[in-house]
Amino acid sequence: MDRLQATSPCAGLLPMTVGALSVEEMKAGPITSVAPFKGASMASVERALGVPFPAPLQSTGDTALRCVWVGQGEALLIGAVPDASLRSYAAVVDQSDAWAVVTLRGAQGPEALARLVPVDTRPARFGVGATMRTQLGHMNASITRLDEQTVMIAVFRSMAGTLVHDLRRALEAVAARS
């Protein structure tokens, strides 16, 4: 009889380094979708989250606990399970197994992403803490700048192989031009 075994979305695919760029799977921990109810006290929501609820196109928190805007009135809490009291103020859905989350590191990261996304991800235009929902290749993705040389990319788990493939091709193209 076969035994099911839990694996991460990018198991066997990452890490990879091409030229001066690297991609690693991020150990994101719990990922929870949070959509505050109409009229809910944002102070109560934020107290239960442990970090401020992000403004559009922004993220809050740090590497241990981050809240990422993903659409109008919706964010993903990444890194911890929210306080149970949050259910009184927001729709809360555990999505921990739904996402593949990777980090792209290196000064040439924006050059690689320019081959895949229709938006400017250079640090001068997409600063630390900025986030966006966009197309990456033909996938829906969330991209968040973590620091000057690192972005976090999240796609649906079923697209992990495609994400790694597309990133590899973009990194190889950038490395070939260097």
Residue by residue, pLDDT tens for the chain (178 residues) are 788 888 999 999 999 999 999 999 999 999 999 999 999 999 999 999 999 999 999 999 998 999 999 999 999 999 999 999 999 999 999 999 999 999 999 999 999 999 999 999 999 999 999 999 999 999 999 999 999 999 999 999 999 999 999 999 999 999 999 8
Q: What is the pTM of this model?
A: 0.96
Residue ranges of the chain assigned to CATH 3.30.1360.120: 16-28+98-177
Three-state SS letters, the chain: CCCCCCCCCCCCCCCEEECCEEEEECCCCCEEEEEECCCCCHHHHHHHHCCCCCCCCEEEECCCCEEEEEECCEEEEECCCCCHHHHHCEEEEECHHHEEEEEEECCCHHHHHHCCCCCCCCCCCCCCCEEEEEEECCEEEEEEEEECCEEEEEEEHHHHHHHHHHHHHHHHHHHHHC
CATH (residue range 31-96): 3.30.70
CA distances from 89 to 95, 110, 112 (A): 18, 38, 40
CATH (residue range 16-28+98-177): 3.30.1360.120
CA 74 to chain centre: 14
What pLDDT is recorded for position 178? 82
Residue ranges of the chain assigned to CATH 3.30.70: 31-96
What pLDDT is recorded for position 2? 84
